[in-house]
Amino acid sequence: MRSWLFVPGDSEKKLAKSLTSNADAVILDLEDSVALANKKSAREITAAFLQGAKNNGPAFWIRVNALDTGLTDDDLKAVMDARPTGIMLPKTLSGADVTHLDAKLTVLEAKNNIEDGTTLISAVASETAASLFTLGTYQGASKRLSALTWGAEDLSADLGAQTSRDNDGGLTDPYRLARALCLAGAVAAETQPVDTVFVNFRDDDGLKVECDAACRDGFTGKLAIHPNQIDIINQAFTPSEDTIQRATEIIATFANAGNAGVVSINGEMFDRPHLLRAEKTLARAKLAGQD
């Protein structure tokens, strides 16, 4: 999934508007965008919306409250009957938190007559200083784990930073580190690496630059906080025709060469890492409907 759009779970207007976006995934948020006093009503509004909209376009995910808040179980009980695509777990400290959530989902799927393992998990894995040291622990944590992403704002608060970006708008070193570790952790866990939000939703040029950089480095999707960001994100993470053609040519050349470890195309040498990269490109294109 290329684009993941956050929508406050207590706003019926914004939830309805999310259906008109082109987001691959809509994240119905019960966490940061919902005040504590509104948690109960947000659960009710989110569950009712999901019951009516779950077969209408995007994949629907629920961002629950973190495991240490005491709110997670009530969040899950309220929404599981509506059969969301998956649960986004914020502020995870390690892969053990994903395993913990997996166990909760197994019980709730049984109670709601949902096939075991149906509900997927995505984790926001770098929102605390401690979590940066455990990004290698998600490998094997759960077969449900579908995506790993990271967050700069909560991390900056935990670090006591004034901001996560420099005067030019680029990420400063602590957050570049978190981003790189998340990417590596996701790939090691054989799950989708998803880049964090770009908070200035009126800066289309800045968003495009950040999307292009994320795609270049290996991320396959990006979080969004506004519907206007979706088309830019989708375009950035959809391989171009030229890219697809190049990848197809590399794969075909290797196939025609038998078991060769290196091939030549127009005087340029390509080895096995290039082949793997080409195969991943075509897989992404297929998911984006470009096949």
Q: What is the pLDDT of residues 16-36, one digit of tens each?
A: 999 999 999 999 999 999 999
pLDDT at 288 over 80: no
Q: Give the pLDDT of residue 31.
A: 97
By percentage, how much of the chain surpasses pLDDT 70? 97
Contact 181, 126 (CB under 8 A): yes
pLDDT at 171: 94
Q: What is the pLDDT of residue 289?
A: 65
- The more confident residue out of 289 and 21 is 21
State yes or no: pLDDT of 254 exceeds 80: yes
pLDDT of residue 282: 84
Q: Quick one: pLDDT band at residue 278, thresholds 50, 70, 90?
A: confident
Q: Report pLDDT for 94.
A: 98
Closest by Cα among 231, 235, 233, 237 to 215: 237
Architecture of domain 3-236: Alpha-Beta Barrel (3.20)
Q: Where are the alpha helices (DSSP H) in the chain?
A: 12-18, 39-53, 72-79, 95-111, 153-159, 173-188, 204-217, 230-236, 241-256, 272-287
Range with lowest mean pLDDT among 83-97, 148-162, 181-195, 238-252:
238-252
Cβ–Cβ under 8 Å, residues 123 and 98: yes
Give the count of alpha carbons within 13 A of 276, CB side only. 5
Please tell me which residue, 64 or 271, carries the higher pLDDT value: 64
At 221 the pLDDT is: 96
Residue ranges of domains in the chain = 3-236, 241-287
- The pLDDT tens digits for 75-113 are 999 999 999 999 999 999 999 999 999 999 999 999 999
Amino acid at 63: R
pLDDT at 144 over 60: yes
Label residue 291 by pLDDT band (50, 70, 90).
Answer: low
Q: Is 189 within 8 Å of 139 (Cβ atoms)?
A: yes
Mean pLDDT of 163-171: 91
Instruction: With cut-offs at 50, 70 and 90, classify the pLDDT of residue 56.
Output: low
| Average model confidence (pLDDT) across the chain | 93
Q: What is the rounded average pLDDT of the residues 158-178?
A: 94
CA angle 192, 197, 200 (to 5 degrees): 155
Condensed to tens digits (0 to 9), the pLDDT of residues 184-226 reads 999 999 999 999 999 999 999 999 999 999 999 999 999 999 9
DSSP SS3 for 149: strand
pLDDT at 273 over 70: yes
Examine the pLDDT at 235 and tell me if it is beyond 70. Answer: yes
Residue 290 above 60 pLDDT?
Answer: no
DSSP letter (8 states) at residue 90 = -
| Predicted pLDDT of residue 247 | 82
